[in-house]
Chains A and B, each alone.
Chain A
Amino acid sequence: MRALTWQAPNRLSVETLPDPGIVNPKDAILKVVMSSVCGSDLHLLDGYVPTMHPGDVLGHEFLGEVVETGAAVTGLKKGDRAIAISIIGCGECGYCSEGHFNCCDNSNPNGQQTELAYGYSCAGIFGYSHAFGGYAGSHATYVRVPYADVNLFKVPDGVSNEQAVFVSDAAPTGYFGADRADIQRGDTVAVWGCGGVGQMAIRSAYLLGAERVIAIDRFADRLRLAEEKAGAIPLDYTRTDVHEALLELTGGRGPDRCIDCVGMEAHGTGIEQVYDKAKQQLRLHTERGAALRQAIRACRKNGTVSVLGVYGGLLDKFPMGAIVNKALTLRSGQQAGQRYVPRLFEHIQKGELDPSYLLTHPMDLEQGPEGYHLFKQKAQNCMRAVFLP
């Protein structure tokens, strides 16, 4: 089969690899129909997530057709059109049993690395470094999906491929973040980052009862989509003082809930950016935290900060004082999409959610490196490049 592989920081190539097969009884093999890029991949591309090996297949947001199932798979059969959740759950451990699939104890065969870094082993993720399991990703003709009954979801009628593919990652991530933010009816929610994840977080915040959502980014096209498609009040942080604007828009109270959809490669302004970038490049810290710091500072007293943006290691200049003295609640996590898929498909069927506009660049798998280039540079208004192997 053909697959888009990571070779070195910012070097990708399309290679021919052996087709995957059933290894464990709960596996299924999917013939990939659509496989999207995601902001998380940029952290791998730029070399900020260690334990990538040359030849690793990228991709974790995908839709395909079931072509083979293991002996213990009961809920799927050949020919089913399905999406997979990017964070792998086993369905059996204590965490999975309680719906916290993102904290699965069993899905990572290389648990020792995250145990060393974070104190406990973390769940496996498709195409997301060896520390997170070393699973081959979905930018390929075929992909092996472990615990298929838990991680694969049949796409119901009336939901198109273009809509369904994002129920793999961007949509449940946004929904998870909004859910974790504990939004109360009438709340004002501020969302940093208007990529695929931010767009879905904005829409989800409304679905969960927010009165107003304010979206922060610097790309005009993304801010426009946040406004037109998701209904947010756009704020361009390169032109507007974000903190003051948030006060101005909320009668001085500040946003009740803040959601970080930016992550460790936040773009900053002025001296903070120079400082963060220099330290990150010297590997003195792993994160640039401009968006998260701003969110914590902007959040009203007793409010909630929900972090969806991915951070890998140690963040410098973390405003702990603001958290304590404003009695903030900090929530975070990789998405637990298995919990939300049925609900999300229902919203799509009812016309309350339509993630298909995230698909700006359908491309051939052979154009993979180019797709990532566009996505990374946010060139040609690229929101998400999606490969069609």
Chain B
Amino acid sequence: MNHDHPTLVSTRHPVGGSDQPNVQGLERIASLVTGGVLLGHGLRSSGLGGWLQVLLGGLALARGTTGRCPAKRALTPTPLESELAEENRWSSAKTLSRSITIDKPRTELYRFWRDFSNLSRFMTFIERVEVLASDRAHWVARLPMGKTLEWTTRLTEDRPDELLAWMSEPDAPIRNLGWVSFRDAPQGKGTEIKAVIAYEPPAGKLGYALAQTLDLLPTMKAAQDLRRLKQLMETGEIATNSTRPATVRRPVEPSPTVFHHGSTGVH
């Protein structure tokens, strides 16, 4: 696989895709009909329910007449996600990515990441990663209510000081892959790290929509985890506001979403 994808993770739409009609055929006709019915009914009903029907009817009519639906567009896979799904023969792919600059040499950061058991030191949802062999690792992720999710990955690419890529083994509960690249920051300002995680939302397209609506959280979690890595590498400690030394292990976060795998599908 090509991990130096020219496609940015943050590119949401294909070229010219953001303004193209995306509602066609029967779907468009259905929108027009539903819109008309709702609008007509809403106008004849009173109270809040009536207003709501008018509003929804209007939106559906607009969707039908213009052939454009922003909501649907937001739920469409990005170009990179389409590429990844095709390459890996997944029903769909969901990606998460963040970049961070860490004021340490590339080698040091690469080596730290290369020992996958280090990952649980900064990834909040990862309970532990056991290194099984130099190219295989077993991941244990925390889920709410004391449950865990486990899978094994194998290294698919290892370019010292540049790139590490891994992929879950076929029996993973949620198929996933990831890669992290290391690049010199300009003017000797450390190393630019870009981490990408992709997974196959379990229920295909529907799972994608669900994962998408919960997207903000895991993306922020990913950013937070990378910040923790930066804190650890630069200062030797992870920032905390606690005023007492921890007596218990980090609590399981109540969030239903997970950075390193799609727990969104594990309900």
- B220 A24 Cβ-Cβ under 8 A: no
**Nearest B residue (CB) for A24:** B237
Taking CB atoms and an 8 Å cut-off, the chain A residues in 305-360 that contact chain B are none
Please give the number of chain B residues whose Cβ is less than 8 angstroms from any Cβ of chain A in the complex: 24
- B223 A23 Cβ-Cβ under 8 A: no
Nearest CB of B to A52, in Å: 13
Please give the number of chain A residues whose Cβ is less than 8 angstroms from any Cβ of chain B in the complex: 34
CA distance A106 to B190 in the complex (A): 15
Partner of B235, one of A22, A23, A91, A144: A91
Taking CB atoms and an 8 Å cut-off, the chain A residues in 14-32 that contact chain B are 18, 20-26
CA distance A18 to B230 in the complex (A): 30
- A92 B224 Cβ-Cβ under 8 A: no
- A25 B236 Cβ-Cβ under 8 A: yes
Nearest CB of A to B221, in Å: 8
Nearest CB of A to B154, in Å: 32
Interface residue? A115 (CB, 8 A): yes
Partner of A94, one of B103, B241, B243, B245: B103
Taking CB atoms and an 8 Å cut-off, the chain A residues in 29-57 that contact chain B are none
Interface residue? B71 (CB, 8 A): no
Q: A135-B241, A136-B241 are in contact. Are A72 and B227 (CB under 8 A)?
A: no
Taking CB atoms and an 8 Å cut-off, the chain B residues in 167-222 that contact chain A are 189-190, 220-221
A18: B residues at CB distance < 8 A? 243-244
- B240 A21 Cβ-Cβ under 8 A: no
- B244 A90 Cβ-Cβ under 8 A: no
B190: A residues at CB distance < 8 A? 94
- B227 A147 Cβ-Cβ under 8 A: no
- B223 A90 Cβ-Cβ under 8 A: no
Partner of B189, one of A21, A94, A116: A94
CA distance A144 to B243 in the complex (A): 7
CA distance A110 to B242 in the complex (A): 12
**Nearest A residue (CB) for B231:** A106
Return 8 A-B CB contacts under 8 Å, by A number: A18-B243, A18-B244, A92-B103, A107-B239, A133-B239, A133-B241, A144-B243, A146-B239
Interface set of A (CB-CB < 8 Å, partner B): 18, 20-26, 72, 90-94, 97, 105-112, 115-116, 121, 124, 133-136, 144, 146-147
5 A-B pairs with the lowest CB-CB distances in the bound complex, closest first: A20-B243, A134-B241, A24-B237, A109-B239, A92-B234
